[in-house]
Chains A and B, each alone.
Chain A
């Protein structure tokens, strides 16, 4: 448990950076745990939701004087897994922490969990944007992914949200699923485009440590990831979405002009944000910390103490450079290395001129003055580029 002084120091640091313009809220409950998911999510714990909502209210209240959110993102878990009255209550807590209505207020939703009542609650709470976890339109693949919805429900959810007046909808796809064919992948993209979301997130399936998928893969029941295949699928999806007029503004994110997710842009641009809820991360200046993952411990920590922190760290200047490049080079706009140097005192342009020149020659990046941005080929190897530039 952190001492009161640690919490005080943290608060003082946040207050010095206030007002914080970005707020993340975590809702860690799901109807079912998907076998590929390594997020902080818990199934069959509905009894805890009411207490959790109260704890969220306490934590939000504690940060109230530091917050002036321009963007809010409620993620999970499944934020819409709560009952309508629970959803309404915690969104009210969130809204109460914002002095003015946030310009972008996103809630993640699972198609299987959306009802007209919940959509009404979302609209009433000032939510401006809903991110729908569709993942695929192939029912067999959805079952294999452990999803509780099918393609028809995904389409119904979109209709419901449009009817509820939502103008910013995002659709999540997972690519290169085991057993998926390239043709099926192209079909998924076409069906996604047909729903006309303003924003699409398209992630290659990742086998994360500790998930059922990874265990199955190690045991030989699922095929091992294949870089060449994944790259092929990724390129097909990119071509499909760009052909339909979406711009790839981040490695895995596509949007109509002006419909980029401002909240997530804040992460990639290394802005400050506060995260509340179980397992939520916060980032202010050089500092990062994370709340306790377990809902029960989170609830107890918020209700009885100053909050339970899982870890806290301050990054040194070189680590800050790594963070800024690792996040920023994911964006089409790239990174202003001059600004990175000014903020950290580490001049990448001067430290690694030969690498920059080499990568530019290899067609991996483009330089425009102090700004560096990756080409599509560079995106495919972003980790290696970041390692090279920060070596």
Chain B
């Protein structure tokens, strides 16, 4: 069972920041290898969801097999695509684990960006051979020499021999492909040994069920074989194996070192785990699964509610459909006294959340109300147990809390040097802890902070963009949970607590946040016949207060016999408006008041 070098195979990925040209370069490779007619119009084959094409983000990885002849030898090149955002860093790491090398693609007009760094680190961690490539060298404003320096400074990678190309025009792309064959090592594996394959991705296909993407380490895989998904603990009969060239193409067998897909009557994506190991059923004696498997854990939560209550079932159906394609997103029904029936949804991160919401709105006709996102907290209780807290109402009585913990991220920001001062101030405001500064070039700086995820999901990204006039880029990765001075802040309207408005926040920022919420409520709750006090309180202590003064004038000047019907209808209309309001004690709160606080898209003062 000796491992062999599978000399003709190259498994590689392209890692890059969003919009640095990854998909375009992939298209050029497909053209060079004859899989795609030149400029056939079907560009960016790797991104087959419209949304991803629009956003320029590849969310679902794919593996494309290409054939290329160099120096009289035939090579099989497997391009394994990776998601471009660190919300999916685990998925990225699994895709990278299926490769031996990666192209580090950097836009030579933009330079190294936050996700370039994050993805390059992931590739280095995975032990991949990195080939730096500068893209868009044909563009005005390309500054390849500076960008090479940035690569060396930030990533510590020798960029002296970095290749330059233009994925758009195709210039230099053949050289990239050929250099790749030279520098990326062939895979090592045992084609005769028992099956061992990395499950690095899966997609749902309406006709075939789940299609699983695998990289074979040892052994071979063919239709008719019975396999086991080790982590899932399930056995399946393989119905078909194949490769993407670039469309699904059936093959007789997949061998060690190769990448491809398998179809096996798997009904739901929930039944497969990215990073799982595929082997024979039963597994051979002493079998050890591949390392690195992790359960994906939602880090960011928000509520999704139909604007119209009648759409609740439609929303549930839409969420179920979406989950078929994305098992990393979770949802459970919840009821909000403010917004009615809806769902609490968990996401890997902010971008993931945005994508899911957009897809929902596109694929279903449901108008959505999205509540402001919050993160998952951990509470160590006095009885020694630890609980995960996904919403403020889950917070136990303070007497039972030993330690209140929040997720902390390692956060890298690449920004223009003149923004350093304002960014450092912002990071401090956001409870960031300084880690380091690195100059990429005389004008571009990478700032690294450890920062609570809760602050990042709140409004940090918007503020970063405005502090850097749009030039700043951000990447973060959740590092650990840390104890913090966290509190549950309650909002009281006329002395009555409004559950839907309570929130978890840091003791230090509670007061300004409380005040901001109260000010928004004051603007959106109509005046009543009595003064309505608004309070934000931590435990029994009021930290902010506002008052909606009593209505002083609401009188029709003239009302005679002939006016009765018209004036009455006016009153009825006003009454109907009140019916849609939520009654809290004696106070009527309109939905827009809740939205002004809960909704994520009304960050008016956050964007100041």
Contact = CB atoms under 8 A, between A and B. Distances in A.
B565 A386 contact: no
Interface in B538-582: 550-562, 564-565, 567-568, 571-572, 574-575, 578
Contacts of A266: 561
Contact of B555 (A311, A379, A390): A379
A313 B565 contact: yes
Contacts of B575: 387, 390-391
Contact of A381 (B551, B557, B562, B564): B551
B3 interface: no
A359 interface: yes
A344 interface: no
B553 A288 contact: no
A207 to B, nearest CB: 11
A154 B44 CA distance: 84
A326 B558 contact: no
A235 B544 CA distance: 35
A230 B567 CA distance: 20
- Give the interface size class of chain B: 20 to 34
Given A203-B557, A381-B551, A383-B556, A288 B565 contact: yes
A113 interface: no
Interface string B505-538: 0000000000000000000000011100000000
A387 B574 contact: yes
A383 B558 contact: no
Nearest to B574: A387
A386 B529 CA distance: 11
B560 A322 contact: no
Contacts of A388: 529
B558 A267 contact: no
Contact of A391 (B555, B559, B568, B578): B578
A31 B456 CA distance: 70
A79 interface: no
Contacts of B560: 264, 267
Contacts of A275: 561-562
Contact of A323 (B555, B568, B574, B586): B568
Nearest to A387: B575
A283 interface: yes
Contact of A383 (B530, B550, B574, B586): B574
- Which of A230, A267, A384, A386 has the largest count of B CB atoms less than 10 A from its CB? A384
Interface string A307-324: 000010100000100110
A327 B571 CA distance: 12
A364 B554 contact: no
Interface in B360-380: none
A327 B565 contact: no
B562 A279 contact: yes
Contacts of B556: 206, 382-383
Contacts of A231: 552-553
A120 interface: no
Interface in B117-149: none
A381 B559 contact: no
Contact of A24 (B561, B565, B567): B561
A66 interface: no
A362 to B, nearest CB: 5
A275 B568 CA distance: 19
B571 A322 contact: yes
Contacts of B567: 326
Contacts of B554: 380-384
A206 B559 CA distance: 11
Interface string A261-294: 0001011000001010001110100001010000
B561 A385 contact: no
A327 B559 contact: yes
A206 B555 contact: no
A368 interface: no
B369 to A, nearest CB: 25
A127 interface: no
Given A359-B529, A381-B551, A252 B571 contact: no
A288 B550 CA distance: 35
A252 B558 contact: yes
A322 B565 CA distance: 11
A119 interface: no
Contacts of B564: 267, 281, 283, 288, 323, 326-327
A283 B557 CA distance: 21
A379 B551 CA distance: 12
B553 A381 contact: yes
- Which of A24, A204, A283, A381 has the largest count of B CB atoms less than 10 A from its CB? A381
Interface in A317-353: 319, 322-323, 326-327, 330
B529 A362 contact: yes
B165 to A, nearest CB: 60
A385 B529 contact: yes
Contacts of A364: 529
A288 B567 CA distance: 13
A71 to B, nearest CB: 11
Contacts of B572: 319, 322
Contacts of B571: 322, 326, 383, 386-387, 390
Contacts of B561: 24, 264, 266-267, 273, 275, 281, 283
A53 interface: no
Nearest to B530: A362
Contact of B568 (A205, A230, A326): A326
Contacts of A203: 557-558
Contact of B559 (A228, A330, A384): A330
Nearest to A268: B559
- Which of B551, B552, B559, B565 has the largest count of A CB atoms less than 10 A from its CB? B559
A12 B465 CA distance: 75
Contacts of B578: 387, 391
Given A206-B557, A267-B561, A383-B574, 10 more contacts: A252-B557, A283-B561, A290-B565, A326-B564, A326-B567, A326-B571, A362-B530, A381-B552, A382-B556, A388-B529
Q: Give the top 9 A-B pairs by smallest Cβ distance, nearest first.
A: A267-B561, A203-B557, A281-B562, A227-B553, A204-B557, A383-B554, A384-B554, A381-B554, A203-B558
Interface of A: 24, 203-206, 227-228, 230-231, 251-252, 264, 266-267, 273, 275, 279-281, 283, 288, 290, 311, 313, 319, 322-323, 326-327, 330, 354, 358-359, 362, 364, 379-388, 390-391
Interface of B: 528-530, 550-562, 564-565, 567-568, 571-572, 574-575, 578, 586
24 contacts: A204-B555, A206-B556, A206-B558, A227-B552, A231-B553, A251-B557, A252-B557, A281-B561, A281-B565, A288-B565, A319-B572, A358-B586, A359-B529, A362-B529, A379-B555, A380-B553, A381-B554, A382-B555, A382-B556, A383-B555, A383-B571, A384-B529, A385-B529, A387-B574
